Amino acid sequence: MHEMSLAEGVLQIIEETAEVEGFQAVRKVTLEIGQLAAVEPEAMRFCFDAAMRGSLAEGAELEIVEVPGSGWCVECATTVPMPEIIAACPYCGNCQLQATGGMEMKVTSLEVE
């Protein structure tokens, strides 16, 4: 389950930010997770809670904002929705799509004390 290593990475970001900004506790963490990022939101919630135990973010709320996938169709030169990493263009049916969005996972905000 790679979500655990991702949650540990989030904790590292929180700890590094706390060191620079000087806050003592985190109440809420907002993550943007792309639809094509291969991150299962429920597994991420579970791993987040486990990774935050004993840290300044223990008990913090996790808000996940899902970012839709998008891609560029090589055939019709159009940006299209891409619900899966392997998908056909909804306009021309071509399967040569290059993913352009929805692959990221990033911490977008921290609510701190």
61 in a structural domain: yes
Distance between CA atoms of residues 6 and 8, nearest Å: 5
For residue 65, the model assigns a pLDDT of 98
The CATH number covering residue 27 comes to: 3.30.2320.50
Structure token digits, residue 50: 């486990």
Q: At what angle do helices 41-52 and 3-21 cross, to 10 degrees?
A: 50
| Residue 26 belongs to domain spanning | 3-68+102-112
Distance CA 74, CA 15 (A): 42
In a domain, 36, yes or no: yes
Checking phi first, is residue 104 left (phi over 0); if not, alpha (psi -120 to 50) or beta?
beta
pLDDT at 52: 98
Residue in 38, 55, 37 with CA at minimum distance from that of residue 29: 55
Would you say residue 26 lies in a domain?
Answer: yes
Looking at the domain assignment, is residue 38 inside a domain? yes
Give the pLDDT confidence of 16-61 residue by residue, as tens digits: 999 999 999 999 999 999 999 999 999 999 999 999 999 999 999 9
pLDDT for 1: 59
